[in-house]
Structure 1
Amino acid sequence: MPLSTPVSRRALRHSRVIDVQAYVRDDGLWDIDARITDIKSYDATLASGPRPAGTPLHDLHLRITVDRELTIVEAEAASDAVPYPGFCDTIGPAYSALIGLNLLKNFRRDLKQRLAGIAGCTHLTELAQVLPTATVQAFAGDVWSTRDGENADLSHEKPFQLDKCHALRTDGGAVAQYYPRWVAKV
Structure 2
Amino acid sequence: MPLSPPVPRALRHTRAIQVEAFKRDDGLWDLDARITDVKENDVTLASGVRTGGTPLHELSLRITIDLELTIVDAEAASDAVPYPGYCDVISPAYKQLVGLSLVKDFRAGLKERLSGVLGCTHLTELAQVLPTAAIQAFANDVIKTRDGAGDLLPNRPFQIDKCYGLRADGPAVAMYYPRWVATTASS
Hey, what's the Cα distance between the residues in 1 that align with 2:28 and 2:160?
A: 26
The alignment's TM-score, normalised by the length of structure 1, stands at 0.97
Q: CA deviation at 1:158?
A: 0.7
Q: CA deviation at 1:154?
A: 2.8
Q: CA deviation at 1:27?
A: 0.6
Matched, 1:106 2:105: yes
| Structure 1 outlier segments of 4+, above 4 Å | none
Hey, what's the Cα distance between the residues in 1 that align with 2:161 and 2:12?
A: 39
Q: CA deviation at 1:155?
A: 3.0
Q: CA deviation at 1:21?
A: 0.4
* Contact 1:147 1:153 survives alignment (8 Å): no
Q: CA deviation at 1:63?
A: 0.3
Show the counterpart of 1:139: 138
Show the counterpart of 1:154: 152
Show the counterpart of 1:5: 5
- Structure 1 segment 167-182 matched on structure 2, within 5 A: 167-182=165-180
* Contact 1:36 1:127 survives alignment (8 Å): yes
Q: Which deviations, in whole Å up to 9, do the C-alpha atoms of 1:127-170 show, x marking residues without a partner?
A: 00000001100001110110101x24333211110000000001
- Structure 1 segment 40-51 matched on structure 2, within 5 A: 40-51=39-50
* Contact 1:115 1:125 survives alignment (8 Å): yes
1:176 counterpart letter in structure 2: A
Hey, what's the Cα distance between the residues in 2 that align with 1:152 and 1:141?
A: 15
Identical columns (%): 70
Hey, what's the Cα distance between the residues in 2 that align with 1:152 and 1:63?
A: 37
Matched, 1:76 2:75: yes
Tell me the C-alpha RMSD between the 2 structures: 0.8
Q: Which deviations, in whole Å up to 9, do the C-alpha atoms of 1:36-60 show, x marking residues without a partner?
A: 0000000111110001110000000
Q: CA deviation at 1:9?
A: 1.1
Hey, what's the Cα distance between the residues in 2 that align with 1:80 and 1:134?
A: 23
Q: CA deviation at 1:89?
A: 0.7
- Partner SS for 2:141: coil
Gaps (5+ residues) in structure 2? none
